[in-house]
Amino acid sequence: MFVRLVYESFRRQKRRKVLAGAAITLGVTVATAMIAVATDIGDKINRELRTIGANLVVTPQEDSLDVEIGGVNLKPPTDGAFLSEADLPKIKGIFWHNNILGFAPMLPVSAAIQSAGKSQEVSVVGTYFAKKLSYGNEEFITGVRSLYPWWKVSGAWPDDNSHDVLLGERLASRLGKEPGQDLTAGGPSQNCGKWLRVDLACEAPSLQLRVSGILSTGGAEDDEIVAPLSVAQQILGKPDALKRVYVSALTKPEDAFGRRDPKSLSGAIYDRWYCTPYPQAIALQLTEAMSHSHAEQIRQVAQNEGAVLTRIEGLIFLITLAALFASGLAVSAAMATAIFERRTEVGLMKALGAGKLAIASIFFAEAALMALIGGAIGFGVGSALAHQIGHSIFNSQISISPVLLPVILAIAVIVTFAGSALAIRRAVSLDPVFALRGEI
Amino acid sequence: MSHQARDLAASRGHGKHPSMFLRMLLRAAVLRRGRAASALFAMVVAAAVATAMLNLYVDVQAKLQREFRNYGANIILIGKDGASLPASALSQVDSTLAGRGIAAPFALIVARTKDGQPIVVAGTDFDRVKQLDRWWSVSAWPAENPHFSQNQGDPSTSLRAGVGHPGLVGVRAMPLVSPKNQPFDLTFQGRTLQVTPAGTVQTGAAEDSRIYLSLADFTPWTGVQPSTIEVAASGSAAEVADVMHQLAQAIPAADVRPVRQIMEGEARVLGKTRATLLAAAALIILTAALCVLSTLMGWVFDRRRDFAIMKALGASERLLNGFFAAEAAALGATGALIGFVVGIGIAAWIGRANFHAAVVPRLGVLPIVLIGSMAVTLISAILPISLLRRVQPAVILRGE
């Protein structure tokens, strides 16, 4: 009888059921979409912040001081210690390798460039543009093109295995070079102890380079030549050498625990520190991965992104609360209206001798059924909506895990019950006589 | 009932009676307090949520831009062709900024340590750097040299005095120049300066291998004027571009460059955050509007007996529509005003909780909320009325 009452109620009052169901569906849709966005926004914004550039840098452990003003190195490049290029793929083998979005090695050297019969000393930076590396079975592509998205090239990006280079825009206008033209570069020779001039009889080779594009960065690179790493190594005469590695990693904003000195931690606490993607923890792992190295966070980038990230996450979290509140209210309002309209029915049931409990259980059963159906549809639509938001705003996927479905359904049922409770209480306490005469 | 009917008849006899209309509106609200209050409540909540969301949407840009200024300079002034900037450059930058940002001068040279090692020494204004480069991890900032103002005219006095000049030493330079935190000598063009390490600076970048002195010590020693001014200009991208343009005009000797890295990253993150916020605001406002719609429609639908009685007594279609529309508009306006105040409160609380700064109330949001609320209430009043219009009053009154 109970089942039949509920069933018939759904069959005969389609319009009302559809209206209330639509409210529940909409509420759950908004709630699902906002929860999905809120849980993923941290990761998305973190990736956007990574476009500001590397947040970690690896340098040789026993390095001498940089004597560098405005990006121009004033020291003989042969000075000091070097890192090994062969160690680079190991960066992808650290515990947090999935958080490493990219890295680029740097090897600044000086070269004498022949231009209009004169030779000029310029600094050449060797790096990866988009180099394919492999660690184990995993292949990945890394380099400055993904690490520094604000580098603009007119012309073409050089290939990593060629003798093509990028010319900084101010240097290019000084030299009067355009993409497609050739450059002759000589390196410093250890034998001469000075910069190699091509006309001097030194043994270091001179290199034929081709300008493939003009680079504009707004920084020191505008006065430099950016070349494939192998070219800089040839100019220096040290294969496998590199001076520093810039690493872009997704990190967790530093907190009091993250700032603690790992040496003072012990056992399980150390493991917890090590296995949290704090900038310091990733730096430590990078130090371990590259031999004779020292990794450090670039504080300008690493410190500030935590602050920005926390603010945006907090904002979206508060807004998600507002969304949940609004959708809860919408569901309650719809349920209250739907039940209020059925007071004649309640009067009839009461007149026929139904108890309060019986009436309330019928209404609650109907509410639960609607919440489940509306919740399931709303979950589907909400996931699609979140997907759409992720696609149109962040150009990447916002996925919602199916684990959330029961949680969302439970919330939908609770909110629907809460919204109906007041109306149901009023309905069961109606005097059947008044209700049937339509006077309330 | 009969009293009401007589009044209505009287009003019809004497043409339009404005006070009767008002009385009906008022009585409708008072007599059905419960339903009217719940409709008003829904309206207030919807208007509050809409106000808060719109206010946040407008304000979030300013709030996040402030966060991004912690990244430091977004504009750099460099003397053309490596020359120093004119002495008045910093004050010109300050007057151009007029409080909308902070600038710090830097002068760089390569000095030699006692054992002949080259090292970069920078002169700057520590008070400004403290505000500009907040990510610098500094163990202790040097105090400004109190003797400077008297000795400015005669640089050699302060050199001869032999007082240690406080300097900020980069963490990588520290073990080289002053392993035991003792004072050390630096030589530049034959002139020696004794520096007392006041503290260390760590940034993970070039600063770590430098020594920073205050310009008051640096300039008399080296005779070198600042060649770089780093500027953190606040405001939107257009305002920053405007500041750059003004700076380029005010100081023709300088090359004014944007720090593209910071500016582009900032634009990207701001754009995406605002887009997300807009999508969320649209969803939330839509939900709130639908909540109002369903509550109000139920309310109006419940009053079909009033409607039928009025119609049976001969009220014209226009009067009926006007009555319900006026009622809805009044509800919408009241709800919007209360909701606006509540919404401003919510936005201010979110601002305080999340950004540690109050969100400025935007009065420009009020008309939008007001018009939106009234539109929603009018729709939710007119929709059931137009459904009921086709029904005979007798059918409604019989309760069918």
3-state secondary structure of A314: helix
CB atoms within 10 A of CB A136: 8
User: Do residues A39 and A32 lie in contact, with contact meaning Cβ atoms separated by under 8 Å?
Assistant: no
Q: By three-state DSSP, how is residue A150 classified?
A: coil
How large is the average pLDDT for residues B321-331? Answer: 85
> Within a 10 A sphere around the Cβ of A153, how many other Cβ atoms?
20
> Is-contact A59 A296, C-beta < 8 A?
yes
Among candidate residues A356, A346, A328, A421, the one with its CA nearest the CA of residue A9: A346
Q: Is B107 left (phi over 0), alpha (psi -120 to 50) or beta?
A: beta
Output the pLDDT for position B246. Answer: 92
Segment A13-33, tens digit of pLDDT: 777 778 788 888 888 898 888
CB B255 within 8 A of CB B79: yes
Q: How close B15 comes to chain A (CA, Å)?
A: 32
- Please report the pLDDT score of residue A158 as a whole number: 92
Q: Are B100 and B243 in contact (CB under 8 A)?
A: yes
Q: What is the pLDDT of residue B144?
A: 60
DSSP A82: -
Contact yes or no for A168/A223 (Cβ under 8 A) = yes
- What gap in Å lies between CA A329 and CA A334, rounded to an integer? 9
Q: Report which DSSP code applies to A79.
A: S
Which residues 214-273 of B have a C-beta within 8 angstroms of A? 228, 257-262, 264-265, 268-269, 272-273
Nearest to A318 among B261, B273, B353 (CB): B353
**Contact present, A280 and A262 (Cβ < 8 Å):** yes
Domains in chain B: boundaries: 2-67+268-397, 74-258
Contact A39, B147 (CB under 8 A): no
Q: Locate B236 and state its tokens.
A: 């939107």
Residue with the two structure tokens 């509420």: A27
CB contact under 8 A, B261 and A148: yes
The per-residue pLDDT of chain B, averaged, comes to 82
Position B154 scores a pLDDT of 45
How much is the pLDDT for A79?
Answer: 65
CB contact under 8 A, A30 and B283: yes
The DSSP symbol for A157 reads P
- CA separation for the pair A21, B145 (Å, rounded): 75
For residue A137, what pLDDT band results from cuts at 50, 70 and 90?
Answer: confident
* Arithmetic mean of pLDDT, A362-374: 88
Query: Is B36 within 8 Å of B377 (Cβ atoms)?
Result: no
Spatial separation of the C-alpha atoms in residues A183 and A168, rounded to whole Å: 13
Q: Supply the DSSP string of B217-278, one letter for each residue.
A: HHHHHH-PPP-EEEEEE-S-HHHHHHHHHHHHHH-TTEEEEE-HHHHHHHHHHHHHHHHHHH
Quick: pLDDT tens for A422-437.
Answer: 778 877 777 777 777 7
C-alpha distances in angstroms, A283 versus A257, A269, A401, B175?
A: 16, 18, 31, 21
CA gap A28, A129 in Å, rounded: 46
State whether B291 and A330 contact (CB < 8 Å).
yes
Helix or strand holding residue B170 (H, E): strand B165-170
| DSSP-based three-state secondary structure for A334 | helix
Distance CA B296, CA B288 (A): 12
For the stretch A52-108, pLDDT in tens is 888 899 988 876 677 777 666 666 666 678 899 999 998 988 888 888 999 999 998
**Distance from CA of residue B264 to its chain's centroid?**
18
Q: Where are the beta strands (DSSP E) in A177-239?
A: 182-186, 206-216, 225-228
Task: Give the alpha-carbon dihedral of A36, A38, A40, A41, to 10 degrees.
Answer: 140
Burial per residue of A230-251, b for 16 or more beta-carbon CB atoms within 10 angstroms, e otherwise: bbbbbbbbbeebbbbbbbbbbb
Provide the total of helices (H) and of strands (E) in chain A, helices listed first: 12, 16
**Residues of chain A found within 8 Å of residue B275, distances taken between Cβ atoms:** 392-393
Q: Is the confidence at residue A9, as pLDDT, over 90?
A: no
DSSP per-residue letters across A228-272: EHHHHHHHHT-TTEESEEEEEE--PPP-TTTTS-GGG--HHHHHH
**Average pLDDT of span A291-304:** 87
- Percent of chain B surpassing pLDDT 70: 88
Q: How far is CA B173 from CA A79, A88, A244, B184, in A?
A: 16, 27, 18, 12
Q: Are B314 and B12 in contact (CB under 8 A)?
A: yes
Residues 293-352 of A with CB under 8 A from B: 296-304, 307-308, 311-312, 314-316, 318-320, 322-323, 325-327, 329-330, 333-334, 336-337, 340-341, 344
Q: Which amino acid is at B120?
A: V
Whether the predicted pLDDT of A201 surpasses 50: no
- In chain B, count of helices (H) and strands (E)? 15, 10
Q: How far apart are CA B89 and CA A324, in angstroms?
A: 54
* 3 state SS of A406: helix
Neighbours of B365 (CB within 10 A): 21
Interface test with B, best of A15, A66, A348, A387 (most B CBs within 10 A): A66
**For chain A, what percent of residues have pLDDT higher than 70?**
91
Type of residue numbered A399: S
pLDDT in the model for residue B13: 45
A327 touches A27 (CB < 8 A): yes
Tell me the residue length of chain B.
400
In the prediction, which pLDDT does A214 show?
92
More confident residue, A435 or B378: B378
Kindly indicate the confidence band of residue B201, based on its pLDDT and cuts at 50, 70 and 90.
very high
pLDDT of residue A205: 59
Tell me, what's the pLDDT at A77? 60
Instruction: Share the mean pLDDT of chain A.
Output: 82
- What per-residue confidence (pLDDT) applies to B339? 92
Q: Measure Cα distances from B400 to A340, A436, B391 in Å.
A: 16, 11, 11
ipTM of the complex: 0.79
Name the nearest CA neighbour of A369 among A11, A30, A34: A11
The number of residues in chain A equals 440
Place of tokens 């990761």: A43
Q: Chain B window 45-104: which residues touch A at a Cβ cutoff of 8 Å?
A: 45-46, 49, 52-53, 56, 60, 63-64, 67-68, 70-72, 78
- Separation of alpha carbons B142 and B126, rounded Å: 8
Please state which of the ranges A380-394, B327-341, B354-368 shows the lowest mean pLDDT. Answer: B354-368
Q: What is the pLDDT of residue B3?
A: 54
B60 confidence band (pLDDT: 50, 70, 90): confident
Residues of chain A found within 8 Å of residue B399, distances taken between Cβ atoms? 344, 437-438
Q: Is the pLDDT of residue B399 over 70?
A: no
Helix ranges (DSSP H) in B102-173: 126-132, 148-151, 155-160
Does residue B138 or residue A336 have the better pLDDT? Answer: B138
Q: What CA–CA distance (Å, rounded) separates A407 from A322?
A: 18
B120: part of which helix (H) or strand (E)?
strand B118-124
Average pLDDT over residues B191-218: 90
Residues in chain B closer than 8 A to A333 (CB atoms): 38, 42, 291, 294-295
**Beta carbons of A307 and B70 less than 8 Å apart:** yes
- In this prediction, residue A117 has a pLDDT band, given cuts at 50, 70 and 90, of low
- pLDDT of A2 over the 50 cut: yes
Question: 58-87 in A: which are within 8 Å (CB) of B?
Answer: 63, 65-70, 74-75
pLDDT of residue A226: 93
A286: confidence class by pLDDT, cuts 50, 70, 90: very high
